[in-house]
Chains A and B, each alone.
Chain A
């Protein structure tokens, strides 16, 4: 809503996957992959990792080719329906709105090292 000015969960950067007649629900968010395919395939180097380790897209450099969306293994890059430019979860400058909005506090932001250990 805030990004594109309207509602459609297909453009959401957090996806809820439902499996087996809705018996299971999985929230899926960008992993900020160490070997980020979205970054690897981008022809204009619009995708970079910032100082916090977050994979971010520079809309100025993005030419709306859609390759990152095609090759993200968990399909969490979405394309602006008007401009075709790519968007992904960049953790909302460190204060994710999804965490604020979740009524059951199912989400939290943690930092993991490359061995999968959570650092407080």
Chain B
């Protein structure tokens, strides 16, 4: 039957050197659609409470969505696992072409469990699955490993996910590099891969992704492209990618500066699209088949760091390894980001942790390593720390490799006051003190400090959501907006969409594409319902893994220290506001006052807790 799903899940057991193909079950596709939904359900069903994220029992899963690998615009893939950084659910998204290749090889997902005795890589070519020796690849950086495997298999067209030295050394925020310049970046999926002794996954697929109703599907895709064309936000992304957000964040006082102490940066334009287009960019780039093409590609051609290819420096990386560290030389920032990419380390968490170390050193909480002037603005210090962390080189590198939450605990002496994270995941580059809805979104995200599970900023600053007026500084009316945004985002993460696609493509068109592709009928609120179901399953999972609900909160900096600059100057999110929004939020979610989903909520969403928990 032609239906966009391949109906196969590839399960690989590295401990026993075996693999099997499991059917993608009907109830799974009906209730969870794909992508994040599959990941949430499978993690919840298969991980015992308190599973060691770096032990053999953790699952490392790669999912394309039902629309990935088709003509549907702006689709990606996701990695789902239990995060070693936060100890809870982790989903991390990647563009490029790897996710589509998984579909072409004939799989709705690749699930890896166990741990290989020696370093290995997986070579998946349609039905052929080989576990190959990777002894000679261990120690190579992400791109070197990619190149070596392509040479070894004598095929440039293979798509490969790799880890670098950071993943091998189990740095808790190491990433999986999905060629090129596309990363499953956040939360330490690379460390999980490293803990399994898995250096890489190489995929080649020759099969077709079939469509139930090709005529209608084509029409729906054409409408989606048209909707993208009509969106001014998409046009802005096409012109300057996410780099265009830097000036916006600076003007609105949301741009982190000096470990989030401030919300503006006087030299912001140097690291924004203006500086980047002058010093870095040569052309545009896109994930497979995406008409948005938000990426720029170029090279650092001159100066101290010259001679390497660089992608656009995305907003988050530019803010966290640039303005947050008081560094404005874009070529230096590109150099730092490239180091992170090659080692395979999340540039967001790395930026936050270096900012933390700089402030801690300036405040006398830690000592600088010999010969290093560990202070804001020092490119050398930032570079030193990246090497030290990735290679576990000196005591400070080792300490910082655990993430900002654990590092602050070890340092003691109120270092926790300047550690900026939620649930252990370093915060994204959107200081929320001037936008309380964003604050609530950060408090309640399923994977910790993340801006992608609901991004109310534009509605709050625009002063309106769904026809109701909004005051960005007030805690009123934020809970229902955040719940709705989170549900929709999780719901569409099942197909697996790129967030930027939602700037143009309407809910109706997503449903039309999905329905034409799979041949199934969906209700008009399918994404909200599925998203809510996922959100509750993930909550149950997180609670089963020991989530402490007092962690549904903001880092102290945003609560106790009023913003010193920008349009929201003087504002902070008070404890009272936090408590108010949290209470409203739990209520809207159908959770009790301890943040536990109520029986009635689970029943309404058809979540069979007893069966799931067997």
Contact = CB atoms under 8 A, between A and B. Distances in A.
A binds B: yes
A82 B450 CA distance: 45
A13 B134 CA distance: 35
Contacts of A20: 309
A81 B231 CA distance: 39
Interface string A1-20: 10011111111000000101
Given A21-B180, A22-B181, A6 B206 contact: no
Given A10-B206, A23-B283, A5 B291 contact: no
Contact of A5 (B100, B214, B297): B214
A94 interface: no
B61 interface: no
Contacts of B291: 103
A22 B180 contact: yes
Interface residues of A, number: 17
Interface residues of B, number: 30
Interface string B130-145: 0000000000000100
B143 A10 contact: no
B578 interface: no
A4 B207 CA distance: 11
Contacts of B71: 1, 7
A9 B71 CA distance: 10
Given A6-B211, A23-B297, A23-B299, A103 B225 contact: yes
B435 interface: no
Contact of A9 (B282, B288, B309): B288
B549 interface: no
Nearest to A2: B214
B181 A8 contact: no
Contacts of A25: 283
Contacts of A6: 2, 207-211
A7 B288 contact: no
B285 A4 contact: no
Contacts of B2: 5-6
B70 interface: yes
A21 B341 CA distance: 12
B614 interface: no
Contacts of B206: 8, 10, 81
Interface string B197-215: 0000000011111110010
Given A1-B214, A21-B180, A22-B181, A7 B69 contact: yes
A8 B205 contact: yes
Given A8-B104, A103-B225, A21 B209 contact: no
Interface in A1-51: 1, 4-11, 18, 20-23, 25
B155 to A, nearest CB: 11
B143 A7 contact: no
A31 B2 CA distance: 34
A10 B157 CA distance: 9
A10 B297 contact: no
Given A4-B208, A7-B70, A11-B208, A23 B309 contact: yes
B208 A21 contact: no
B143 A21 contact: yes
B143 A8 contact: no
Contact of B209 (A7, A81, A103): A7
Contacts of A23: 282-283, 297-299, 309
Given A21-B143, A23-B283, A81 B180 contact: no
B435 to A, nearest CB: 34
A10 B104 contact: yes
A21 B157 CA distance: 13
Contact of B309 (A5, A7, A11, A21): A21
Given A23-B283, A103-B225, A8 B207 contact: yes
Contact of B208 (A7, A18, A22): A7
B369 to A, nearest CB: 32
A54 B509 CA distance: 39
A5 B104 contact: no
A20 B307 CA distance: 13
Nearest to A17: B156
A106 B26 CA distance: 43
B208 A8 contact: yes
A62 B181 CA distance: 42
Nearest to A18: B180
Interface in B267-297: 282-283, 285, 288, 291, 297
Nearest to A103: B291
A37 to B, nearest CB: 21
Contacts of A18: 180
Given A7-B69, A10-B206, A103-B225, A22 B211 contact: no
Contacts of B309: 20-21, 23
Contacts of B225: 103
A103 B290 CA distance: 11
A81 B208 CA distance: 9
A58 B311 CA distance: 44
A61 to B, nearest CB: 24
Nearest to B218: A1
A2 B157 CA distance: 23
A81 B299 CA distance: 39
B336 to A, nearest CB: 17
Interface string B36-59: 000000000000000000000000
Nearest to B205: A8
A73 to B, nearest CB: 16
Given A22-B285, A25-B283, A103-B225, 6 more contacts: A6-B207, A8-B209, A18-B180, A22-B181, A23-B297, A103-B291
8 contacts: A5-B208, A6-B209, A7-B208, A8-B69, A9-B288, A22-B180, A23-B309, A81-B208
